């Protein structure tokens, strides 16, 4: 397949990231490597989307801290960014709503042919109410690298499009363009298929099988319209997990399971283990968290007591 006939993918990971771990970052890397090896996909961006404070999980620190830690964790990546949209809403957003938001944002700004675009969602716009004049929420102040990027590979695209951090890394992690910009047909990709896929561990996939935990209509959209990339964790068997859910079985072809080293050292790393290590002064925390995140946690005195 040529570069233009492959499906172009943006990986979106939702979660608490309380705190973000090396395992989260490796999940992106493993998924990208696997998708590239299939010969069917080109991963052009990754999005870390921390959950809203009102999610209500015990020990969940403020989104202000979680966003900062996520930004520190991806600062050396040239293709993963942090998106604060979830945290900036008035209340908690479903995973389905977050996917729909990013799908519609990419559609409005890029004009790309998104294979999982159906009807527009009703999710709010980034940082501004509906029917208000548009404005750029964040401006990128970094110099753009001359290294080959998705924009350069795919041909003539307008400068406004090239500023989208998902499409043209490396850029400052908190970066947006005016999502209401009318770029016109001259700035559209020609025959490029773009998909936004939910990236998750096998633990989230397993949660789909718990009766009543997920709204079935949302599951139909997440798995049926978007699709999932699953990175196995703790020796779990995603294929076995899928057999316990009629919806997962129905859309099995939309679930891509990363087939790599099943004993990958990052597959057992978790935010829970990281918090426990911090609470007990366990030196193994350096195996779980990157140093800038550790430094920020210690400076801000997060997760130090048992209450989280």
Q: What confidence tens digit (pLDDT) does each residue in 59-114 have?
A: 999 999 999 999 999 999 999 999 999 999 999 999 999 999 999 888 777 665 45
Write down the pLDDT at residue 77: 94
Q: Using only the alpha carbons of the chain, give its radius of gyration.
A: 19
Angstrom distance (rounded) from CA 72 to CA 67: 9
- Asked if 9 and 35 touch (Cβ cutoff 8 Å), the reply is yes
Residue 154 has pLDDT above 70, yes or no: no
pLDDT band for position 166 (50/70/90)? very low
Write down the pLDDT at residue 111: 60
CB atoms under 10 Å from CB of 77, counted, come to 16
- Asked if 22 and 58 touch (Cβ cutoff 8 Å), the reply is no
Q: Which two tokens stand for residue 185?
A: 């047909």
Residue 284 has pLDDT above 90, yes or no: no
Q: Which domains does the chain have, with CATH numbers?
A: 7-115+192-264 (3.40.50.620)
- CA angle 194–196–199, rounded 5-degree value: 140
Q: What is the largest CA-CA distance in the chain?
A: 58
**Residues linked to residue 9 through DSSP beta bridges, in sequence order:** 43, 195
What is the percent of the chain with per-residue pLDDT over 70, rounded to a whole number?
Answer: 68
* Number of residues in the chain: 308
Element (H, E) at 205: helix 202-207
Write down the pLDDT at residue 9: 94
Write down the pLDDT at residue 128: 30
pLDDT band for position 158 (50/70/90)? very low
**Residues linked to residue 228 through DSSP beta bridges, in sequence order:** 198, 255
Q: What is the pLDDT of residues 101-153, one digit of tens each?
A: 999 888 777 665 455 533 333 332 223 333 333 332 222 233 333 333 333 33
What is the percent of the chain with per-residue pLDDT over 90, rounded to a whole number?
Answer: 55
């Amino acid at each position: 397949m040529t570069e233009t006939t492959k499906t172009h993918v943006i990986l979106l990971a939702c979660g608490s990231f309380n705190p973000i771990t090396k395992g989260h970052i490796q999940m992106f890397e493993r998924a990208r490597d696997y998708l590239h090896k299939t010969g069917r996909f080109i991963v052009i961006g990754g999005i870390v989307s921390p959950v809203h404070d009102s999610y209500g999980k015990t020990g969940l620190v403020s989104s202000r801290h979680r966003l900062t830690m996520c930004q520190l964790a991806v600062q050396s990546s040239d293709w993963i960014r942090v998106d604060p949209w979830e945290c900036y809403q008035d209340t908690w957003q479903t995973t389905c709503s977050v996917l729909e938001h990013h799908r519609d944002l990419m559609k409005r700004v890029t004009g790309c042919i998104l294979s999982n675009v159906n009807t527009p969602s009703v999710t709010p716009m980034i940082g501004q109410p509906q029917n208000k004049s548009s404005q750029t929420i964040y401006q990128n102040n970094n110099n753009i690298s001359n290294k080959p990027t998705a924009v350069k590979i795919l041909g003539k695209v307008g400068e406004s499009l090239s500023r989208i951090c998902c499409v043209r890394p490396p850029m400052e992690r908190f970066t947006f363009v005016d999502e209401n910009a009318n770029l016109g047909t001259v700035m559209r990709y020609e025959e490029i298929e773009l998909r936004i896929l939910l990236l998750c561990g096998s633990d989230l996939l397993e949660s789909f099988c718990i009766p009543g935990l997920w709204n079935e209509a949302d599951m139909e959209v997440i798995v049926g319209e978007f699709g999932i990339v699953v990175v196995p964790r703790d020796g779990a068997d995603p294929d076995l997990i899928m057999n316990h859910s009629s919806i997962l079985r129905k859309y099995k072809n939309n679930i891509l399971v990363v087939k790599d080293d099943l004993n990958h050292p990052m597959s057992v790393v978790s935010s829970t283990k990281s918090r426990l290590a911090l609470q007990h002064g366990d030196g193994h925390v350096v195996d779980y968290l990157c140093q800038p995140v550790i430094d920020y946690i210690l400076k801000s005195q997060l997760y130090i007591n048992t209450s989280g």
